[in-house]
A and B are shown apart, each in its own frame.
Chain A
Amino acid sequence: MEENKELEIISEILNGNTEKFGVIAEKYAEQLFRVALGYMHSKEEAEDIVQEVLIKAFNSLNTFKGNSKLSTWLYRITVNSCLNQINKHKRTSLFSSIEEIKGQGLDSSDQKNPEQQLIEEERNLKVRKAIDSLPTNQKTAFILQRYKELSQKEISEVMGVTEGAVEQLLQRGKRHLKKRLKKSVGKTAK
């Protein structure tokens, strides 16, 4: 959808045609879901976040000035909502995170035996913990690049930083993950 068309739809919504927001919701729901999944690693929580974000976006549509793309604005709201939700969940224990991993079908148990499945689940948990351990900005840059495949320019617009800063964040994020995984996955391999 072109930007101009999006702006037209937005002005129709602001003039009272609420149903037009459905077009925006249909277009962006899955995209926002991917970003939320990168943070929450849970289908249900990611869906809740997407609902919250779209409703928030609808309620504050009059504040969208059109200086950035609608997608950039929505990603920004999504990132903030995810970070707020993570802060709320900071007391969530390791036990519940294991339940989430088992529950979300990451085992892809098509043809693997139970032992292989268990090893893969443990490995996935370690990767997830490594991603969750990233500092906030590095995590945001990482998720937007890997889960949403945004360019560095787009990431810089969402995060409100320069492209150079985004590149640095991505590099540091990679190093952090490598270091973290070397410790934990390396132990499993032994």
Chain B
Amino acid sequence: MTNNKDPNKTIIDNFIKQELEIKPNPFLAAKVMAKIVAQENEFNREPAISLKERKTYKLAFNLAMSVGAAAVLALGVFLGNSYTSKESLNTQTNNSLAINDTQLENLHLYNLE
């Protein structure tokens, strides 16, 4: 009887046999449990601030921001109004003199020969 052993089958068998000799880390299960326990602790952990307190803080913050913005606006309007009311009609003339374009740029100086 001839030996019909397939060489390819032998090669595959040897390869698989070598791979199966590789053993996993003996602490693999322990590592998994550590991750699971950490996951459970994270899930069960109580928050430092309760939900009610968190909502209160958020409301107070929004209120403070609104009041601050209103105060800044009011201050700006007040300052603008006080500047306008102090200035008299006299300055209007000064202003008009001040905006005499021909006085701004003495172009004839550049054209002197």
- Residues of chain A touching chain B, judged by Cβ–Cβ distance below 8 Å, are 18-19, 21-22, 25-26, 29-30, 33-34, 37-38, 41, 43, 46-47, 50-51, 54-55, 58, 104-106, 108, 123-124, 127-128, 131, 146-147, 177-178, 181-182, 185
Knowing A18-B36, A58-B36, A127-B12, say if A30 contacts B19 (CB, 8 Å).
no
Residues of B within 8 A of A182 (CB): 8
Among A18, A26, A50, A147, point to the contact of B19 (Cβ < 8 A).
Answer: A147
Chain B residue at smallest Cβ distance from A21: B36
Cα distance, A128 to B31, chains bound together (Å): 29
Residues of B within 8 A of A185 (CB): 7-8, 11
Main secondary structure of the interface of B (DSSP, over half): helix
Cα distance, A21 to B41, chains bound together (Å): 15
| CB <8 Å contact, A147 and B16 | yes
Extra contacts, 8 of them, besides A41-B19, A178-B6, A182-B8 (Cβ < 8 A), are A18-B40, A30-B28, A37-B20, A47-B24, A55-B36, A104-B22, A124-B18, A128-B15
Q: Which 6 A-B pairs have the closest CB atoms?
A: A25-B29, A33-B24, A127-B15, A181-B8, A54-B32, A26-B29
Main secondary structure of the interface of A (DSSP, over half): helix
Residues of A within 8 A of B8 (CB): 177-178, 181-182, 185
Task: Write the nearest CB–CB distance from B29 to chain A, whole angstroms.
Answer: 4
Chain B residue at smallest Cβ distance from A104: B22
Chain A residue at smallest Cβ distance from B22: A43
Task: Write the nearest CB–CB distance from B45 to chain A, whole angstroms.
Answer: 15
Chain A residue at smallest Cβ distance from B35: A55
Residues of B within 8 A of A108 (CB): 18, 21
Task: Write the nearest CB–CB distance from B35 to chain A, whole angstroms.
Answer: 6
